[in-house]
Amino acid sequence: MSGARRIVSLVASNTEIVCALGLADRLVGVDDFSDFPPEVERLPRLGRDLDIDVDRVAALCPDLVLASLSVPGMERNVERLQARGLPFVAVRSQGLEGVLEDIFRIGELTGVTTAGERLAGQLAERIRRVAQRTTGATLSSIYWEWWPRPYIAAGGPSWITDLCRLAGGRNVFDDEPRESATVSTEEVTARSPEIAVICWCGARKLPNPVLVARRPGWGEIPAVRHGRLHAVLEPRYGRPGPRLVDGLEELASMLHPELFSRAP
């Protein structure tokens, strides 16, 4: 498996890691949601990340299938891969530190340990620089929404909790034991978030904050009252790969523009 030449990726985050390691030419198939970097668009599509066509995976004769358990429901893919006897590794990123560990691990699995170590180190340095700037900043309480029907919020174990903290904020559902949790208007209101970030998974265009502000009962939420609803696209925040650090830098600038309006 080490130094695999024919790699299949079943989730967009793993696809982005493989490409960031300089191994795009080894990819022979990807899930339907893998859309970055642009060169992966030419690759065979193997189905949605929660419902992979394992027969098509097997037909590609992969040396290594990179699966993931980062989203509930992906266990089905692992069961099917096991049943077919395909060579696979399933990563599960535990917080932002876990994402860096997975980058290093995928580097080892593909025979480019040095590249994995270098990429993880570069990302860690960028994270350190953001944290250095936000040290001592007034923390903003943040509601992070992954989905609108029903409302699904980022919970404590999510890497979003880490991003919020490093960017100079606090996830209002950081005490929620699940990575993602269904929440009610009453629960969001009770947490009184000063900022709401709307980041719907899979959305191709930005959510409309005006429509979010009109939700019944949301007028009492400080983020709504003070016009601090921010809409962002999911790829920089919902994929446990290198672009999470792009998201961190963007979020820090959003929360504390006074700290990031000047060059380091």
Q: What is the tens place of the pLDDT at every residue in 49-64?
A: 889 999 999 999 999 9
* Residue 17 shares a structural domain with residue 113: yes
* Residue 141 shares a structural domain with residue 120: no
The pLDDT assigned to 2 comes to 61
* Residue 29 shares a structural domain with residue 66: yes
Quick one: tokens of 136?
Answer: 């001592």
Q: What is the tens place of the pLDDT at every residue in 198-221?
A: 999 989 899 999 999 999 999 999
Quick one: tokens of 211?
Answer: 């429509």
Residue 175 lies in a domain: yes
- In angstroms, the CA 249 to CA 264 distance is 12
The pLDDT assigned to 128 comes to 97
The pLDDT assigned to 264 comes to 52
> To which residue do tokens 């989730």 refer?
11
For residue 80, what is the domain's CATH number?
3.40.50.1980
* Residue 148 shares a structural domain with residue 232: yes
203: left (phi over 0), alpha (psi -120 to 50) or beta: beta
Domain of residue 49: give its range: 7-127
Q: Among 127, 153, 186, which residue terminates a domain?
A: 127
- In angstroms, the CA 208 to CA 198 distance is 9
* Residue 120 shares a structural domain with residue 96: yes
The pLDDT assigned to 74 comes to 87
Which residues in the chain land under pLDDT 70?
1-2, 262-264
